[in-house]
Amino acid sequence: MKRIVVIIAFCFFLYGCYSIAFFQSPKVLEKGKTEFSFGTSLVYGNNYLSLHELFGNLRVGVGNNADVGIRIFGKPPRDLEFLKEGGSSDSCEGGCWVGIYVDGKYQLVEEPLYISTVFGLSYSFPAMAAFYPSIVIGTERFYLVSRIIIFGPIGFWEEGSESAKYAMVSPSMSMGFLVGRKVRLLPEVGILLSVSEKGFSPNFYTSLGISF
């Protein structure tokens, strides 16, 4: 019983965040085709380097010019000390979270260079929402992404909401590659330009995944 109480208390310590990796070319999957991928992202800036997320993706082709995706993402604790009675919260220094992300992609140009629009939504525990309008340009093997990540506590978009002060906007630019055929490596690098009441803060990230 004590362990259950500790786990519940730990859940309240979690705060949500957003998923930063893009991990998809502008070419949509053929209808009925699926693609699985998993990987990790690191963020660095202001003399620090930290694990931002681990994630797993599933994409499915749903039409001639469209596919959809779903992602489970999160930042795990560094160890399991938090499960022990009186365990240290240092396991989650900087925060831990778990979330779900969904998106839809529509391919505007059917010949290389492909151009597609992507709109994603995510929810991460306990109450963080994010929106991801994006445009991606490139080939099946190389892509460039321009997008805006808008995130904050649930309800931050409502007029007069007190939580609006905690919302942030992060314009983002990134590029990625697909290396291989049946099993592919997906390296990606990008920059996040966080804009809030506290000012302007650039952060860089790098992600590496495997898809099949």
Predicted confidence at residue 7, as pLDDT, reads 36
Predicted confidence at residue 86, as pLDDT, reads 53
Predicted confidence at residue 90, as pLDDT, reads 61
Which residue stretches of the chain have pLDDT < 70? 1-16, 79-95, 126, 157-160, 162-165, 196-199
CATH code of the domain containing 188: 2.40.160
Predicted confidence at residue 59, as pLDDT, reads 98
Predicted confidence at residue 198, as pLDDT, reads 62
DSSP 8-state code for residue 54: E
Predicted confidence at residue 48, as pLDDT, reads 79
Predicted confidence at residue 85, as pLDDT, reads 52
**What is the number of other CB atoms lying within 10 angstroms of the CB of residue 5?**
10
Tell me the residue range of the domain where 109 lies: 2-211
Bridge partners of 200, per DSSP, are 195
Dist. CA 114–CA 192, nearest whole Å: 24
Dist. CA 87–CA 77, nearest whole Å: 12
Predicted confidence at residue 180, as pLDDT, reads 92
Please count the structural domains in the chain: 1
Predicted confidence at residue 11, as pLDDT, reads 38
Predicted confidence at residue 167, as pLDDT, reads 77
Dist. CA 186–CA 160, nearest whole Å: 42
